[in-house]
Chains A and B, each alone.
Chain A
Amino acid sequence: MNRTRPITGELLALKNEIEGYAIEYGLDFFPQIFEVCDYDTINILAAQGGFPSRYPHWRFGMDYDQLSKGYAYGLQKIYEMVINTDPCYAYLLQANNWVDQKLVMAHVYGHNDFFKNNAWFSGTNRKMMDVMANHGTKIRRYMERYGQDAVETFVDRVLSLENLLDVNELFETPELRRRRRDSDDKIKEGDEGEFLVDDRSQALKAFMRTKSRAEKKDKVKEEDVAHHDSPEKPLVRPTRDILGFLMEHAPCEEWQSDIIACLREEAYYFLPQRITKIMNEGWASYWHSKIMTERALTSAEIIEFADKHAGVMQMGRQNINPYKVGIELYRDIEYRWNTGRFGKEYNDCTDMKEKAAWDRNVGLGKAKIFELRKSHNDISFIDEFLTPDFCERQQLFTHKFNPRTGRNEIDTRDFNAIKQKLLMQLTNFGQPVIQVEDGNYKNRRELLLRHNHQGVDLDVNYAHETLKNLYGIWRRPVNLATAYEEKEVVFHFDGKEMKALH
Chain B
Amino acid sequence: MDHPIKRDHARFRKIIKGKIRDNLRRYVSQGQQIIPKGTDKFTVPMPSIDIPRFKFGDKQQGGTGQGQGEAGDPVQGQPDPNGQPGQGEAGEGEGQKELDVELSLEELARILGEELALPNIEPKGKKSLHSTTDKYTNIGTSGPDSLRHLRRTYKQALKRQISSDSYDPNNPTVVPIRRDFRYKSSQPKVEMQNAAVVIYMMDVSGSMGDEQKEIVRTESFWINLWLKSQYKDIEIRYIIHDATAKEVDEQTFFRTRESGGTLISSAFNLCKTIIDADYPPSEWNIYPFHFSDGDNWSADDTKLCLDLLDNHILPASNQFCYGQVESRYGSGQFLKDLTARYGQGHDKITLSKIKNKEGILDSIKEFLGKGK
Interface positions of A (Cβ within 8 A of B): 1, 3, 41, 44, 46-50, 53, 56-67, 69-70, 75-84, 100, 103-104, 107, 111, 136, 152, 156, 159-164, 270, 273-274, 280-281, 284-285, 308, 311-312, 314-321, 323-325, 394-401, 403, 405, 407-413, 418, 421-422, 425, 431-432, 434, 451, 455-466, 468-469, 480
Contact A409–B74 (Cβ < 8 Å) = yes
Contact B75–A274 (Cβ < 8 Å) = no
Given known pairs A61-B10, A107-B86, the reply for A317 and B62 (CB within 8 Å) is no
Given the complex, which residues of B lie within 8 Å of A400, measured CB to CB?
A: 62-63
Given the complex, which residues of A lie within 8 Å of B15, measured CB to CB?
A: 58
Contact A457–B89 (Cβ < 8 Å) = no
Q: How far is the CB of A370 from chain B (nearest CB, A)?
A: 20
Specify which of B10, B56, B74 is in contact with A459 (CB 8 Å cutoff): B56
Contact A395–B68 (Cβ < 8 Å) = yes
Contact A61–B8 (Cβ < 8 Å) = yes
Contact B75–A457 (Cβ < 8 Å) = no
Given the complex, which residues of A lie within 8 Å of B99, measured CB to CB?
A: 62, 65-66
Given the complex, which residues of B lie within 8 Å of A273, measured CB to CB?
A: 88-89, 92
Given the complex, which residues of B lie within 8 Å of A160, measured CB to CB?
A: 51-53
Q: How far is the CB of A333 from chain B (nearest CB, A)?
A: 18
B71 closest partner in A (C-beta): A410
- B345 at the binding interface (Cβ < 8 Å): no
Q: How far is the CB of B201 from chain A (nearest CB, A)?
A: 40
Q: Which of B86-102 contact A (CB under 8 A)?
A: 86-93, 97, 99-100
Given known pairs A457-B56, A459-B55, the reply for A421 and B89 (CB within 8 Å) is no
Which of A79, A273, A456, A480 is the most central at the interface, judged by chain B CB atoms within 10 Å of its CB? Answer: A456
- Give Cα A285 to B91, complex, Å: 20
Contact B62–A78 (Cβ < 8 Å) = no
Q: 16 interchain pairs (CB within 8 A)? A: A49-B89, A49-B92, A61-B13, A75-B83, A78-B83, A104-B86, A312-B85, A323-B84, A323-B86, A398-B65, A401-B58, A409-B71, A421-B63, A425-B63, A464-B52, A466-B52
Given known pairs A70-B83, A451-B54, the reply for A58 and B11 (CB within 8 Å) is yes
- Give Cα A401 to B49, complex, Å: 25
Given known pairs A69-B100, A466-B53, the reply for A418 and B64 (CB within 8 Å) is yes
Contact B67–A317 (Cβ < 8 Å) = yes
- B138 at the binding interface (Cβ < 8 Å): no
Contact A325–B75 (Cβ < 8 Å) = no
- Give Cα A256 to B145, complex, Å: 56
Interface positions of B (Cβ within 8 A of A): 1, 3-13, 15, 48-49, 51-93, 97, 99-100
- Give Cα A64 to B2, complex, Å: 14
- Give Cα A460 to B58, complex, Å: 11
A-B contacts besides A3-B3, A81-B90, A317-B66, 16 pairs, CB < 8 Å: A50-B88, A50-B91, A58-B8, A59-B12, A62-B99, A64-B5, A75-B82, A78-B87, A79-B83, A284-B86, A312-B85, A319-B63, A320-B65, A410-B71, A421-B64, A434-B54
Q: How far is the CB of B20 from chain A (nearest CB, A)?
A: 14
Given the complex, which residues of B lie within 8 Å of A1, measured CB to CB?
A: 1
Contact B77–A318 (Cβ < 8 Å) = yes
Q: How far is the CB of B83 from chain A (nearest CB, A)?
A: 3
- Give Cα A70 to B83, complex, Å: 9
Given the complex, which residues of B lie within 8 Å of A412, measured CB to CB?
A: 71
B68 closest partner in A (C-beta): A395
Given the complex, which residues of B lie within 8 Å of A75, measured CB to CB?
A: 82-83
Contact A46–B91 (Cβ < 8 Å) = yes
- Give Cα A412 to B3, complex, Å: 49
Contact B59–A401 (Cβ < 8 Å) = yes
Which of B1, B61, B83, B84 is the most central at the interface, judged by chain A CB atoms within 10 Å of its CB? Answer: B84
Given the complex, which residues of A lie within 8 Å of B62, measured CB to CB?
A: 398-401, 408, 411, 421
Given the complex, which residues of B lie within 8 Å of A418, measured CB to CB?
A: 64
- Give Cα A398 to B93, complex, Å: 22
Contact B97–A314 (Cβ < 8 Å) = no
- Give Cα A487 to B11, complex, Å: 41
- Give Cα A61 to B8, complex, Å: 4
B69 closest partner in A (C-beta): A410
A108 closest partner in B (C-beta): B86
Contact A455–B60 (Cβ < 8 Å) = yes
Which of B5, B11, B80 is the most central at the interface, judged by chain A CB atoms within 10 Å of its CB? Answer: B5
Q: How far is the CB of A329 from chain B (nearest CB, A)?
A: 13
Contact B54–A431 (Cβ < 8 Å) = yes
Contact B13–A63 (Cβ < 8 Å) = no
Binding site secondary structure of chain B: loop
Specify which of B13, B49, B90 is in contact with A78 (CB 8 Å cutoff): B90
Given known pairs A409-B74, A410-B73, the reply for A397 and B54 (CB within 8 Å) is no
Given known pairs A315-B66, A319-B63, A399-B62, the reply for A44 and B5 (CB within 8 Å) is yes
Q: How far is the CB of A286 from chain B (nearest CB, A)?
A: 11
Q: How far is the CB of A437 from chain B (nearest CB, A)?
A: 14
Q: How far is the CB of A55 from chain B (nearest CB, A)?
A: 9
- Give Cα A63 to B66, complex, Å: 28
- Give Cα A403 to B13, complex, Å: 37
- Give Cα A400 to B71, complex, Å: 10
Contact A61–B90 (Cβ < 8 Å) = no
Given the complex, which residues of B lie within 8 Å of A324, measured CB to CB?
A: 66
A276 closest partner in B (C-beta): B88
Contact B55–A432 (Cβ < 8 Å) = yes
Specify which of B5, B55, B77 is in contact with A431 (CB 8 Å cutoff): B55
Contact B49–A317 (Cβ < 8 Å) = no
Contact A312–B64 (Cβ < 8 Å) = no
Given known pairs A60-B8, A462-B54, the reply for A81 and B87 (CB within 8 Å) is yes
A83 closest partner in B (C-beta): B88
- Give Cα A403 to B58, complex, Å: 12
Given known pairs A44-B5, A457-B56, the reply for A397 and B66 (CB within 8 Å) is yes
Given the complex, which residues of A lie within 8 Å of B75, measured CB to CB?
A: 317-318, 399, 407-410
Contact B63–A398 (Cβ < 8 Å) = yes
Given known pairs A422-B64, A466-B54, the reply for A50 and B89 (CB within 8 Å) is yes
Given the complex, which residues of A lie within 8 Å of B74, measured CB to CB?
A: 405, 407-410
Which 3 pairs of residues, A with B, have the shortest CB-CB distance? A76-B83, A465-B52, A61-B8
Given the complex, which residues of A lie within 8 Å of B57, measured CB to CB?
A: 456-460
Given the complex, which residues of A lie within 8 Å of B77, measured CB to CB?
A: 317-318
Given known pairs A58-B12, A318-B79, the reply for A459 and B58 (CB within 8 Å) is yes
- Give Cα A460 to B88, complex, Å: 30
- Give Cα A423 to B233, complex, Å: 64
Given the complex, which residues of A lie within 8 Å of B3, measured CB to CB?
A: 3, 41, 44
Specify which of B78, B84, B100 is in contact with A312 (CB 8 Å cutoff): B84
Specify which of B11, B48, B61, B88 is in contact with A56 (CB 8 Å cutoff): B11
Contact B67–A395 (Cβ < 8 Å) = yes
Given the complex, which residues of A lie within 8 Å of B54, measured CB to CB?
A: 163-164, 431-432, 434, 451, 458, 462-463, 466, 480
